Amino acid sequence: MNIENIEAFVYVFHYGSFNKAAEVLFLSQPSVTARIQSLERELDCRLFDRLGKQVQLTEKGRQFLPYAQQLLHIYQKGKQHIQRQRTIPNELRIGCTVSVSNYMIPELLPKLKAQYPGLQIKVTTAVTDDIVSKVLNRELDIGFVRNVSHPNLQSVKYYEDPIRLYAYADHPLAGIKEVSVELIVDQPFVFFECGSLDWLRIHRVFQSLNKPPLIEIHTDNAETAKKLVLNKAGICFLPRLCVLKEVQEQLLYPIDVAEVTGVALQTNIISLNGEQSEIVQFLISNRVV
């Protein structure tokens, strides 16, 4: 049985007209008529009665209709599945910054695997500039990077991670909801920064004072900075995502500093224009919050 004949039958019933069905199927009216006649020969019965310009199902046509609709639905669903598979690669190469690798990827990838069970995933950790270059050169399919813009890239905001001051449990400032920058300038600091403009904003806050902050240790690794705070080496400005567990366990306490309110690290998803759109949309709809 020809699926095109089934399609013509369902469309003629739906639109109540051979001409309208032909228009929607981008066929001539005689072609649609020929398909219906072919199906009627196969079934050995008449499917439609013509009433002037209108058509209506015969009794045999009404009996056959639900089966025809089901056959067409199954065919279209299978076709969509095959076409969808063509747009999903067998292997997905993801590039991400260290913070994304540590705090987002472990939560995100199981969801991605559940949605695309046959997908093989390779994760590469690098700095934003290297990830951008690798995506442009097709060495990576998708990147999680700082906020970037490039004419050849689709760059979509994925997550904005607020930066706050954190102190260990028995620090004098622990439990205080908000302080001014003057109150913390003499406190021993562990200073973590990743080179983005957001961290420069924090530096500028201290530049407005007569003396610099008391930075005991400087590091470019958030995990190192967090563990130093836990070991009471000082207080530290850190992204929220890296300290969620410690805050919940009351090992670290967030402190709002009025002068740095609104400072946050933005993470974007990047891919080549027009590529990986389905996976990117899935990732965006499953943001780690």
Task: Identify the CA nearest to 99 among candidates 174, 178, 194.
Answer: 194
Residue 262 pLDDT level (bands cut at 50, 70, 90): confident
Q: Check whether residue 118 and residue 204 sit in a common domain.
A: no
Buried b (16+ CB within 10 A) or exposed e, 101-111: bbbbbeebeee
Give the number of residues written for the chain: 289
Give the domain CATH number at 194: 3.40.190.10
Task: Identify the CA nearest to 236 among candidates 262, 258, 218, 211.
Answer: 218
202: part of which helix (H) or strand (E)?
A: helix 197-207
pLDDT of residue 131: 93
pLDDT of 264-275, one tens digit each?
888 999 998 877
Residue 142 pLDDT level (bands cut at 50, 70, 90): very high
Highest mean pLDDT among 80-84, 121-125, 180-184: 121-125
Q: Check whether residue 41 and residue 71 sit in a common domain.
A: yes
pLDDT of residue 288: 62
Give Cβ neighbours of residue 5 (< 8 Å, ≥ 6 apart).
35, 36, 38, 39, 42
Q: Check whether residue 272 and residue 151 sit in a common domain.
A: yes
Q: Check whether residue 180 and residue 250 sit in a common domain.
A: yes
198: part of which helix (H) or strand (E)?
A: helix 197-207
3-state secondary structure of 92: strand
pLDDT of 18-33, one tens digit each?
888 888 888 898 998 9
Give the domain CATH number at 13: 1.10.10.10
Strand partners, 154: 271
Q: Check whether residue 184 and residue 231 sit in a common domain.
A: yes
Q: Check whether residue 177 and residue 237 sit in a common domain.
A: yes
> What is the DSSP pairing of strand 48-51 with strand 54-57?
antiparallel
Domain count across the chain:
3
Reading the block at residue 57, the tokens are: 């199902």
Q: Check whether residue 185 and residue 239 sit in a common domain.
A: yes
Reading the block at residue 183, the tokens are: 């109150």
Task: Identify the CA nearest to 143 among candidates 280, 264, 239, 241.
Answer: 280
What's the start-to-end Cα distance of the chain, in Å?
A: 51
Reading the block at residue 85, the tokens are: 């598979």
Q: Check whether residue 172 and residue 256 sit in a common domain.
A: yes
Q: Check whether residue 135 and residue 165 sit in a common domain.
A: no
Q: Check whether residue 257 and residue 122 sit in a common domain.
A: no
Q: How far is CA 40 from CA 2, 17, 28, 32, 72, in A?
A: 12, 17, 19, 12, 17
Stated pTM of the model: 0.62
State the residue range of the domain holding 198: 160-265
Rounded distance, CA 250 to CA 112, Å? 31
Rounded distance, CA 222 to CA 156, Å? 24
3-state secondary structure of 40: helix
Q: Check whether residue 166 and residue 199 sit in a common domain.
A: yes
Percent of the chain with pLDDT over 90: 35
54: part of which helix (H) or strand (E)?
A: strand 54-57
Whose tokens are 């080496």? That residue is 233
